[in-house]
Chain A
Amino acid sequence: MEVSESNQTAKESRKIEREDRLAYSIPEAADLLGLDYFSVYRLVQRGKLKACRALRGKFLITRAELNRLLNSE
Chain B
Amino acid sequence: MLKRNGENCEHSVPNYPGMLTNSEYAAYQAAIPLVAEEVRLHNERMKLLTDIESQSSQIVEKIKAQDNGVLIGAWQLRHTLFSSGRGEMVLCSRGADGKEEFGVLERFDPNSAYARAHGDSEEILRGNDAYLVLQNFVENERAVLRLFRKDIKATVEEKMTELFPKADANRVAKAIVARCEGQLQVQVEREAPAQTVKIRM
Binding site for B on A (CB under 8 A): 5, 8-9, 12, 26, 30, 32-39, 41-42, 44-46, 53-54, 56-59, 69-73
Contact = CB atoms under 8 A, between A and B. Distances in A.
Interface residues on B, range: 20 to 34
Contact of B151 (A26, A69, A71): A26
Q: Main SS of chain A's interface residues?
A: helix
Nearest to A46: B124
B147 A45 contact: yes
Contacts of A8: 113, 116
Nearest to B148: A41
13 contacts: A8-B116, A12-B117, A34-B111, A34-B113, A35-B108, A41-B144, A42-B140, A45-B144, A45-B147, A56-B157, A59-B151, A69-B114, A69-B117
B73 interface: no
Given A33-B112, A35-B108, A35-B112, A41 B153 contact: no
Interface of B: 41, 45, 84-87, 106, 108-109, 111-118, 124, 140-141, 143-145, 147-148, 150-151, 153-155, 157-158, 161, 169
Contacts of A34: 86, 108-109, 111-115
A12 B108 contact: no
Contact of A57 (B115, B118, B148, B153): B153
A58 B169 CA distance: 14
A8 B106 CA distance: 22
A28 B107 CA distance: 20
B108 A39 contact: yes
Given A42-B144, A71-B117, A72-B117, A35 B87 contact: yes
Contacts of A38: 45, 84, 141, 144, 148
A58 B155 contact: yes
Given A39-B87, A69-B117, A58 B154 contact: yes
